[in-house]
Amino acid sequence: MEEKKFDLNTIIGFLLIGGILLYMLWQNQPTTEELEVQKLAKEKSEQLEDDKKTSEVKNQKDITLENASNQIGFNKLGDSIGIDKLQNILGSFAYSGTLPSAKDATTVIENEVLKLTISNKGGYIVEAELKGQTIYDGTPVFLIKDGNSSLNLQFSSENRLLNSQDLYFEPSLSNNGSNQVLSMKLKTSANNFIEYRYELNPTDYMLGFSIKTQGLENIINTTQPIYLDWNFIGYRQAKSISYENRYSRLTYEHENGDKHSKLSPASDDNELEKNVTWMNFRQHFFSSMLLTDTAFKEVALSSIDLVKDEEVDTLYTKKYGARMLLEPKAGGLSYTMNMYYGPTDYQIFKSYDRNLDEAMPLGWGIFGFLNKYLIIPLFGFLSGFLPAGIAIIILTVLIKLALSPVQYKQYLSQAKLKVLKPELDEIKEKFKGNKMKIQQETMKLQTVAGASPLKGCMPALLQIPVFYALFTFFPTAFDLRQKSFLWADDLSSFDVIAELPFYIPFYGDHVSLFPILASIAIFIYMMMTTGQSMQQQEGMPNMKFIMYLSPLMMLVFFNNYASGLSLYYFVSNMITIGIMLVIKNFIIDDDKIHAKIQENKKKPKKQNKFQKKMAEMMEQAEAQKKKGKR
């Protein structure tokens, strides 16, 4: 996306403004004083055209009378031609008096964690710096900077469509106890105004924000829609922009807090929602949020993916937009809101008790439940007194030990099938060519021996929720960001042991060691389990292919993933291999298992409903087959 390319709405807007100005000039023939204004505007335009210091001036082809007046200063023009005539030219919102807002200036409010810069022009935040945080190259984290974000109140006045981002506000800085309060007022007179109010406490990423109007009932046309537009372009913050972009997503709460939804993270998307109470322009590990006490009646949300080619698109991740329909009340507008600029951190979000944890990709259903109530608290406790890498290892050990009984049952079932292999081979030989009979007799033997393959699969299925919960936890754990371990300098990003002189699709331009170690561990584990199963069970002709495919996928696709996740898989599989060796060599005795199976054969085995049904179906199928041969 080109930064300085005008979109269609901007062009139409300029054309409409130009048409209105021409109409006004045609109706009101210029006086001597007004000609003086035009002369000053022309001089200012020429001066701006010659100024090559900024890209904004390079792109400026023209300067309107209103902009010229703003640039020159209302006080000077007011003294020259009088406030009344100036208001005739610029409308009700040209009030000047002795306001200091008739110039380009900014006001800074800050606390221990956040520094915000608010511009007189538009009255919105033009810089948001997170103190103590740096991006991948060591420079400070700016969520807002260099025009990547705007906040605009659009309304109708005197048959004109006005945008607050083009008008100048008067700043007033004060204190409310230990909080800093900044009032930005767009005035039509000393007591009539639109106010943006910001309040920042000493330690919080969340600030109070409100919009209200006073004395503008006859100026703002409430029969026409009033919109609050928030536009935002996310800056790249991580080493891998494609990996960061995968977890950058617009999330929001609507239906008065009853529903939480998301726009697509992988393509352009938009939605029109009702009664929206908050929205999060998420950038993986950082969030920019707007929350409201009074739900927005209608919001048009949009997300545009700016990373089409990670080799070319290296500055921005996504462009977000929210167009909120505001409802005026008796006396004007009044919205009490909050803004959040800070980490995408579960513990911080949860502390506000406003369902903000729903803005995090922790998984749905049981996966999210495990993350919220088991994994996040446990890892938070461990990382409170241990280095992040050691905390990952201890977390993995604890989880594997907790699941070891399940793994024992899985391996025991496999051991029983191994012991039964000679008898299963006899059945295959005895009923050679009759697959239905082989299946029927095999099921009978397995049922009597208590060695059903389903019993071996069930323990593995029970581990899937934990596996997936951890898969979603590690890439979103803010506590891992910029924490080093061994050769990895950032566990939330990929580790690098070698740089490649070329780029390999899907793999990247570097070599990461943790995915290699994890791939080796997975291959050994699958040799010990899948390799054994291939010798015992029919109907699995592709298992050997899967045995090689899984480590290969880990090696390729995890090369750009968080090294903390690869560290977890490596440690997890090594522990699993160790547990399996202990179970095999010290706990399970094949001779005892065989003797137990032979003893079970002598006892009548009651079938459950499922086994009975399967047996009946097989008998019916066998009978049909025999009938067909007659």
pLDDT attached to residue 11: 52
The pTM for the full model equals 0.74
Of the candidate ranges 317-331, 493-507, 542-556, the one whose mean pLDDT is the lowest = 542-556
* DSSP output for 260-307: EEE--SSS-EEEEEEEEEEEEEEETTEEEEEEEEEEEEEEEEEEEE--
Beta strands 192-200; 179-189: pairing state: antiparallel
Higher pLDDT, 486 or 407: 486
| CB distance 133 to 141 below 8 Å | yes
Buried b (16+ CB within 10 A) or exposed e, 494-530: bbbeeeeeeeeeebbebbbbbbbbbbbbbbebbebbe
Q: How large a percentage of the chain has pLDDT more than 90?
A: 38
Average pLDDT taken over every residue of the chain: 78
> 406 and 308, same structural domain?
no
Residue 427 lies in a domain: yes
Average pLDDT score over residue span 458-486: 84
> 220 and 264, same structural domain?
yes
pLDDT attached to residue 616: 62
> 558 and 507, same structural domain?
yes
| CB distance 535 to 422 below 8 Å | no
| CB distance 232 to 168 below 8 Å | no
- Burial of residue 64 (number of CB atoms within 10 Å: 0-12, 13-18, 19+): middle
> 437 and 417, same structural domain?
yes
Q: Which amino acid makes up residue 486? A: L
Band (pLDDT 50/70/90 cuts) for residue 76 is: very low
pLDDT attached to residue 52: 40
d(CA 332, CA 194) in angstroms, rounded, equals: 10
> 378 and 319, same structural domain?
no
Of the candidate ranges 47-56, 211-220, 414-423, 508-517, the one whose mean pLDDT is the lowest = 47-56
* DSSP output for 217-245: TTTB-TTS-EEEEEEEEEEP-SS-HHHHH
| pLDDT tens digits, 128-137 | 999 999 998 8
pLDDT attached to residue 618: 59
pLDDT attached to residue 435: 72
Of the candidate ranges 215-219, 249-253, 270-274, the one whose mean pLDDT is the lowest = 215-219
> 133 and 211, same structural domain?
yes
> 413 and 328, same structural domain?
no
pLDDT attached to residue 34: 44
Q: Is the pLDDT of residue 481 over 80?
A: yes
Residue 320 lies in a domain: yes
d(CA 56, CA 377) in angstroms, rounded, equals: 48
| pLDDT tens digits, 19-33 | 554 544 455 454 444
Which of the listed residues 340, 361, 382 is the one where a domain comes to its end? 361
pLDDT attached to residue 88: 43
Total number of domains constituting the chain? 2
> 389 and 332, same structural domain?
no
Average pLDDT score over residue span 27-50: 48
> 373 and 490, same structural domain?
yes
Find the domain containing 342 and state its range: 91-361
Higher pLDDT, 94 or 462: 462
